[in-house]
Amino acid sequence: MKELQLGPTMLVLTQGDITRVAADAIVNAANSGLLGGGGVDGAIHRAGGPAILQECRTILASQGRLPPGRAVATTAGRLPARFVIHTVGPIWQGGTRGEPDVLAGAYRSSLELARGLALTTVAFPSISTGAYGYPVDQAARVALRTVARFLSERPLPVQRVTFVLHDEHTLDAYTRAMENLAAAHEDL
């Protein structure tokens, strides 16, 4: 299962490179320092060019470091998206340090920003499941439930939320999580 209709919003799973996605906003799995890194963060800064880093520096100077679970928006520079929403997921420490709540916060804060900007299409990577080590099956469950809950509580101008998953293993994990979510949908 790769698509789930949630009220007016379609939740979609796809495999690919998020830097090539022409959504209103793509979400970056950043770190609190906001100055780039490896993984999807590195790919976004490389493909988007220096305008993104420049805005990140301005945000850092005015707000300080971005705490895990929060999000900020910048230009998308040369990317086909209009905005990049930078959020910070939790570093996996075994699952007893509030990681699920922080991960849910990263998705919620990103959607709140998208809502404030009246965006209709948003694309997420699999936050925290690369360098930050969050087990992908557990992260997929948190990600999809959080987005589904958010959309059911606050109907959005958002019409499409896409998870752009880089590898097949991650896509499979999200596909299983979506099937479980669809089965339990009435319990949301």
The alpha carbons of the chain give a radius of gyration, in whole angstroms, of 15
Q: Which amino acid is at 126?
A: S
Q: To the nearest whole angstrom, how small is the minimum distance from the Cβ of residue 20 to ligand APR?
A: 8
- The tokens describing 11, both together, are 């939740």
Q: Rounded to whole angstroms, how far apart are CA atoms 56 and 65? A: 10
Scan residues 114-133 and list those touching ligand APR (CB under 6 A): 125-132
Near ligand APR in 135-164, by CB under 6 A: 164
Spatial CA neighbour of 122 closest among 154, 163, 150, 153: 163
Residue 110: half-sphere exposure toward Cβ, Cα within 13 Å: 32
Give whichever of 37 and 135 is closer to ligand APR, judged by the CB atom.
37
> Cβ of residue 188: shortest distance to ligand APR, in angstroms?
25
Q: What DSSP designation does 187 have?
A: G
Q: Is 54 helix (H, G, I), strand (E, B) or coil?
A: helix
> Toward ligand APR, which CB reaches closer, 39 or 135?
39
**Could you say whether residue 45 binds ligand APR (CB under 6 A)?**
no
Please identify which residue in 114, 170, 174, 181 interacts with ligand APR, judged by CB under 6 A.
170
In whole angstroms, the minimum distance from the beta carbon of 99 to ligand APR comes to 12
Active site residue 101: no
Q: Which stretch binds ligand APR (CB under 6 A): 36-44, 63-71, 145-153, 175-183?
A: 36-44
Only segment of 26-34, 94-102, 143-151, 173-181 that touches ligand APR (CB under 6 A): 26-34
Q: Are strands 3-6 and 9-15 parallel, antiparallel or unpaired?
A: antiparallel
- Please tell me the distance from the alpha carbon of residue 26 to that of residue 122, in angstroms, as a whole number: 6
Give catalytic residues, as residue numbers.
Answer: 41
Residues lying near ligand APR in the complex (CB under 6 A) = 17-19, 29-31, 37-43, 89, 125-132, 164, 166-167, 170
